[in-house]
């Protein structure tokens, strides 16, 4: 079942990629008591994700902060080392949290997985964006396959 507005994010531990390497974080620490924008991409270093999705959020961090967002989290079904390398490549410089959902645990718990096994990519995340206020989902935008519209930074900013 897909997570929906009003639902609480599942409790679990994942890995973040930071300047000091991988670090275990809980969803409670990442989303509890904060207003957070979480956006997910099918994979680090993939064309749309690298050329448009992640850069859009990096460029608009101050706009999100001005609208009361405490944190922006970029999630992909990749390991924390890949997420760290992607963050370095994209110049994230600590502006966003790079969340590695390596086994798709959170993605599956939210019902937002995308099976790309036939393409040799395994289980990935759908492209989506959600707004979380103290672990409760207040907005969710899921892209249709191949689209890039409702989860882009500009679209999320319009909702805040």
Which sequence positions are flagged as catalytic?
A: 49
User: What string of DSSP letters covers 18-42?
Assistant: ETTEEEEEEHHHHHTTSEEEEEEES
Q: How far is CA 115 from the centre of its chain?
A: 18
Angular region, 7: left φ>0, alpha ψ -120 to 50, beta rest: beta
Q: Are 90 and 55 in contact (CB under 8 A)?
A: yes
Sequence-separated (6 or more) residues with CB below 8 Å from residue 48: 41, 127, 148
- Of 66, 63, 117, 86, whose CA–CA distance to 16 is shortest? 86
Cα 154 to its chain centre, rounded Å, is: 15
């Amino acid at each position: 079942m897909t997570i929906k507005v009003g639902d609480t994010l599942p409790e679990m531990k994942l890995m973040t990629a930071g300047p000091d390497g991988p670090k275990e974080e809980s969803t409670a620490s990442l989303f509890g008591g904060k207003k957070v924008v979480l956006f997910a991409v099918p994979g680090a270093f993939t064309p749309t994700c690298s050329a448009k999705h992640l850069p859009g959020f990096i460029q608009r961090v101050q706009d999100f902060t001005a609208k009361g967002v405490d944190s922006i989290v970029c999630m992909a079904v990749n390991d924390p080392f890949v997420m760290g390398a992607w963050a370095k490549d994209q110049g994230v410089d600590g502006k966003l949290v790079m969340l590695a959902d390596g086994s798709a645990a959170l993605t599956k718990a939210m019902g937002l997985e995308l099976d790309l096994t036939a393409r040799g990519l395994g289980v990935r995340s759908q492209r989506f964006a959600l707004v979380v206020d103290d672990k409760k989902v207040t907005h969710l935008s899921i892209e249709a396959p191949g689209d890039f519209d409702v989860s882009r930074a500009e679209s999320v900013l319009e909702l805040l």
